[in-house]
Amino acid sequence: MNIPIIIIHQGNPFYLERCLHHAQVYNPNNTIYLLGDESNCHLANKQVKHVNISDYFSSAKDFAKLYRHQTTNPYQYNLFCFQRWFLLREFMEAKHFQRVFVCESDELLFCDVEKACAQYFDFDFTLLDGRFANSIFMSHQGIVKFTDFLNFAYTDKYMITCIDNQYTRCFHKGKRISMGGIDDMGLFILYTQHYTNVADTSNPVDGCCWDTAIYQSYGFQMENGIKKITWIDDLPYATYKNGELIRMLGLHFLGKNKMKEYLFFVDDNKKHIDPKTLKWMMFKQWIIKIFNGFKRFPFFARRFFQKHSCTFWRKWYRL
């Protein structure tokens, strides 16, 4: 049986459709499950099966009662980052899946995930740099362990202290000096301190590598704020610190870099599309982004002052 590909997303941003497209083009024999909501159900087709999140959300709701919000991220967004793992567990158990590949909606795949994950079948799951989960191979045993760990982390006194200590690193003498805080990535870090059967896929293996984040170097050459990519036979390669060209199995457009995805789109035949032919499509997305920016002005204003406040206190204390 081919490994199911799971994509979890609420809403219908432009990059979700491109994520699904790349997953289908490079994995034509794998069923893709979009665990979403009413806004993205129209993306379903013969290969992409749409599943309503609410049908597998009972344990996720239970976790919400334990959750403590310790981050500058919006409450619902950050809570859902945790809840998606409970959602995944319920869905895997309902479908009796023993292994799945989880792809985040801002990831573009450039590989057959079955072949790319074959060497990790003995692990509970994979992570990138010990915390990123944008392209991970997950076993049923792994998701059970991690969700049980999340419940344990928010009920055990010692673990709560560990989480609080992790959060206090965002402050100095009572003043916030860094954005962010506790999210599921932070709990992945704590998890790997207690469980060892987790593989790290952020380093090149046999000339291939998964991308942690397009705007972070991790030993690769950078160009215009993102990894320098060379196209060879319509596949993306990044130049590693030793000069070796490494084939990127997937590219992760984390945060504000999502608009740069258009530089890397492929067509139905896996041919890299010239970005110049996509300029009108991206122009439309910029207009939408600007319009949404007006609607979300209070959020952006709050983030702006939070960020500059952190910068001010870091300079004040010369950190």
Inter-residue contact 31 to 128 (CB < 8 Å): no
Give the residue from 221, 257, 215, 261 showing the smallest Cα distance to 238.
221
Please report the pLDDT score of residue 313 as a whole number: 94
Task: Give bridge partners of residue 172 from the DSSP assignment.
Answer: 175
Residue partners of 175: CB distance under 8 A and separation at least 6: 313, 316, 317
How far apart (Å, rounded) are the C-alpha atoms in residues 165 and 176?
14
Please report the pLDDT score of residue 297 as a whole number: 83
How far apart (Å, rounded) are the C-alpha atoms in residues 218 and 200?
13
Please report the pLDDT score of residue 150 as a whole number: 98
Cα-based distances in Å from 245 to 205, 232, 251, 291: 12, 10, 15, 40
What does the pLDDT look like over 35-76, one tens digit per residue?
A: 999 999 999 999 999 999 999 999 999 999 999 999 999 999
User: Would the CA dihedral through 49, 54, 59, 65 be positive or negative?
Assistant: positive
Residues of the chain whose pLDDT is less than 50?
none
Start-to-end C-alpha separation, the chain: 53
Ordered structural domains, the chain, with CATH: 5-204+249-315 (3.90.550)
* Token pair for 270: 């896996």
User: Would the CA dihedral through 30, 21, 133, 115 be positive or negative?
Assistant: positive
Please report the pLDDT score of residue 1 as a whole number: 58
Residue partners of 263: CB distance under 8 A and separation at least 6: 229, 275
How far apart (Å, rounded) are the C-alpha atoms in residues 222 and 170?
28
- Contacts for 275-282 with beta carbons within 8 Å, 24 or more apart? none
What does the pLDDT look like over 282-305, one tens digit per residue?
A: 777 778 777 777 777 888 888 889
How far apart (Å, rounded) are the C-alpha atoms in residues 115 and 117?
6
